[in-house]
């Protein structure tokens, strides 16, 4: 088995298990807070995140949700004109 000689794979599987385990109410409460935070964000907030991460090269103080980062990137790219004007948003509303 590859895990017997591949320490990286063994570490990855252990980390993935920690990320994907369900802590029941703790996970649900965390998701609720995340949804509340996302609902309060506007285009200016997304541009601020884009500027901090991309333009200024700052590292986030805390981990950021990938969907939030992607939306921030797209907002920044639209603002600076690097996002194709004829592109469509994803069917689920992203972008």
In a domain, 73, yes or no: yes
In a domain, 21, yes or no: no
In a domain, 1, yes or no: no
Number of domain units in the chain: 1
In a domain, 29, yes or no: no
In a domain, 7, yes or no: no
Mean pLDDT over 4-31 rounds to: 73
In which band, very low, low, confident or very high, does the pLDDT at 13 lie, cut at 50, 70 and 90?
A: confident
Mean pLDDT over 62-84 rounds to: 89
Q: Tell me, what's the pLDDT at 77?
A: 93
In a domain, 88, yes or no: no
Radius of gyration from C-alpha coordinates of the chain:
18
In a domain, 87, yes or no: no
Q: How far is CA 77 from CA 27, 47, 49, 66, 67, in A?
A: 32, 9, 12, 16, 15
Flag whether pLDDT at 14 surpasses 70: yes
Q: Tell me, what's the pLDDT at 26?
A: 53
In a domain, 30, yes or no: no
Residue numbers of the domain that contains 56: 42-80
Contacts of 79 (CB under 8 A, 6+ apart): 47, 50
- Output the pTM of the full model: 0.54
């Amino acid at each position: 088995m590859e895990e017997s000689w591949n320490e990286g794979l063994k570490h990855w599987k252990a980390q993935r298990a920690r990320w994907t385990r369900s802590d029941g109410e703790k996970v649900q409460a965390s998701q609720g807070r995340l949804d509340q935070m996302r609902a309060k964000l506007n285009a200016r907030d997304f541009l601020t995140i884009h500027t901090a991460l991309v333009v200024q090269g700052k590292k986030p103080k805390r981990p950021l949700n990938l969907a939030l980062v992607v939306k921030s990137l797209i907002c920044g790219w639209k603002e600076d004109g690097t996002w194709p004007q004829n592109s469509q948003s994803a069917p689920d509303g992203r972008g």
